Chains A and B, each alone.
Chain A
Amino acid sequence: MVAVASSRNAAVWAALAEIPDPEIPTVSVVELGVIGEIDFATRPEGGERLRVQLLPTFVGCPAIEVMRAQIGERLRALELADEVEVVVSFATPWTSERITPEGREKLRASGFAPPVHIGSTFSGDSLTVLSIATCPYCASRNTALENAFGPTLCRAIYYCADCRQPFEQFKSI
């Protein structure tokens, strides 16, 4: 039973790993760290329900409904349970620390500076990291914050004084 359960979970994670983030499609929802707990449970009316927690990067992220729909559709196609429920949850707050090492590398390769590590605590003081960004194009640290708010809620805008390129950083939060 345990082996069956774990192989089903593995199938779910494998399917999730193929779902791209709608705004930065080189990164999967798993690499972005927006998947919380997944579990199979018996429904009171019979049959089983697969439940997946989706953790928004930002509370107002407009991509969340797109993600929810894509995840639901993909997991239903696996036919591992009678019902698939994708629940948007704040029980575990998403933080930029949840992005996997692979996710960070893919962000960098597609021109986004990955977030600076902020550890487990977060306060105004943690945002001294705002002054730190490594240029994703030339790896220079000679960069300056242009705007702590960018084209989407989760990005900030910087400028590299060495290769003279503006670039975006996924926000530390």
Chain B
Amino acid sequence: MSDLDTQTRDALAELLLAMADDEFVLGFWDSEWTGIAPILEEDVAMSSVSQDEIGHAKALYELLAGLTGDDADKIAFGRPAEAYRHAALMNHARTDWAFSIARRFLYEHADAVRLESLAASSYEPLADLAVKMRREETYHLLHFDLWLRRLAEGGEESHSRLRGAIEALWPDAQAVFAPLAGEARLVAARILPESLEALRARWLERVTERLQAVGLAVPPTAGSPEADGRTRRTDEFAWLHGEFTMVSGSEADATW
């Protein structure tokens, strides 16, 4: 697709970076459960899900690198914390199990809506990847829908912790659909077949239905996501960034 004009290419690069950073940062947060998840089977599952996300991030960074002529590893590990473009949902530390499950539930459905739409993207390499990623994400969706139910219906403590986490994360979850500077251009070129606002409406419908089904109140939504939903960063993320860049940062351009 070398026939993309510069502005459309920049807009596509912005979309790819946003998606890749979502998967990359969430993959790192949840990989922290390896060894300390509440049950052994979940230890294996959360590790596997996190590995899927890092794999998706790698494929997206490679698409981006192919587009801009950069190196995928450099994009992944070579940026300062403030240059990451993940949604504010991924700014928070893993906290407790209910918090991590609440985030996964909110994110998996957002990602599903996004991938379903991108499967029809006019940018073929992205459409191909979206089709493949959707098959894997289907397992994630089922898994975290089940966990949502387990915690919501498990007992008073798990229910109240989950409810608190959903309420705390709700505003930042909207930021997965925060506007991109080049969005109009992407929609016009059918690279992004629908607006992010249309995708958010679909996501809202799905998570509302599932939350209500397990007796959880849907927090109020204060209009469209804020423009800085993918640019504001936290100290918690700055800490994580220090962790995941520690090895690559210790020896520039090392190979092994």
Chain A partners chain B: yes
Give me the interface of A with B, judged by CB distance under 8 Å.
56, 58-62, 89-91, 93-95, 122-124, 126-127, 130, 146-151, 153, 157, 171, 173
B44: Cβ under 8 A from any A Cβ: yes
Question: What is the size category of the interface that chain B forms with chain A?
Answer: 20 to 34
B136: Cβ under 8 A from any A Cβ: yes
- Measured between alpha carbons, how far is A122 from B138 in the docked complex, in Å? 9
Known A-B contacts: A122-B138, A123-B138, A153-B48. Give 18 more (CB < 8 A). A58-B55, A59-B55, A59-B56, A59-B58, A59-B133, A60-B52, A60-B58, A61-B55, A89-B128, A94-B132, A95-B135, A124-B138, A124-B142, A147-B45, A149-B139, A150-B48, A171-B139, A173-B139
Closest to B46 in A: A149
B131: Cβ under 8 A from any A Cβ: yes
Q: B135 contacts A173, CB within 8 Å?
A: yes
Given B132, B138, B142, which contacts A90 in the complex, CB threshold below 8 Å? Answer: B132
- Measured between alpha carbons, how far is A9 from B54 in the docked complex, in Å? 35
Q: B52 contacts A153, CB within 8 Å?
A: yes
Q: List 7 A-B contacts (CB under 8 A).
A: A58-B136, A60-B56, A95-B135, A124-B141, A127-B139, A153-B136, A173-B135
Residues of A within 8 A of B47 (CB): 149
Assuming A122-B135, A173-B135, is B45 touching A127 (CB within 8 A)? no
Assuming A124-B138, A148-B143, is B131 touching A90 (CB within 8 A)? yes
Residues of A within 8 A of B129 (CB): 59, 90
Bitwise interface map of B from 109 to 148 toward A, beta carbon under 8 Å scored 1, else 0: 0000000000000001100110111011011011100000
Residues of A within 8 A of B135 (CB): 93, 95, 122, 173
- Measured between alpha carbons, how far is A173 from B58 in the docked complex, in Å? 20
A125 CB to nearest B CB, Å? 10
For window 143-169 of B, CB contacts with A under 8 Å fall at 143
Q: A93 contacts B52, CB within 8 Å?
A: no
- Measured between alpha carbons, how far is A65 from B29 in the docked complex, in Å? 25
Bitwise interface map of B from 62 to 79 toward A, beta carbon under 8 Å scored 1, else 0: 000000000000000000
Given A91, A127, A149, which contacts B138 in the complex, CB threshold below 8 Å? Answer: A127
Given B49, B56, B133, which contacts A149 in the complex, CB threshold below 8 Å? Answer: B49
Closest to A118 in B: B135
Residues of B within 8 A of A130 (CB): 142
Assuming A60-B52, A123-B138, is B44 touching A90 (CB within 8 A)? no
- Measured between alpha carbons, how far is A95 from B55 in the docked complex, in Å? 17
B134 CB to nearest A CB, Å? 8
A113 CB to nearest B CB, Å? 17
B245: Cβ under 8 A from any A Cβ: no
Residues of B within 8 A of A151 (CB): 44
- Measured between alpha carbons, how far is A62 from B44 in the docked complex, in Å? 16
Residues of B within 8 A of A95 (CB): 135
B100: Cβ under 8 A from any A Cβ: no
B59: Cβ under 8 A from any A Cβ: yes
B179 CB to nearest A CB, Å? 27
- Measured between alpha carbons, how far is A123 from B55 in the docked complex, in Å? 21
Residues of A within 8 A of B132 (CB): 56, 59, 90, 93-94
Residues of B within 8 A of A60 (CB): 51-56, 58-59
- Measured between alpha carbons, how far is A90 from B133 in the docked complex, in Å? 10
Residues of A within 8 A of B125 (CB): 90
B141 CB to nearest A CB, Å? 6
B251: Cβ under 8 A from any A Cβ: no
Residues of A within 8 A of B53 (CB): 60
Q: A91 contacts B45, CB within 8 Å?
A: no
A149 CB to nearest B CB, Å? 4
Residues of A within 8 A of B48 (CB): 149-150, 153
Assuming A147-B41, A151-B44, is B128 touching A93 (CB within 8 A)? yes
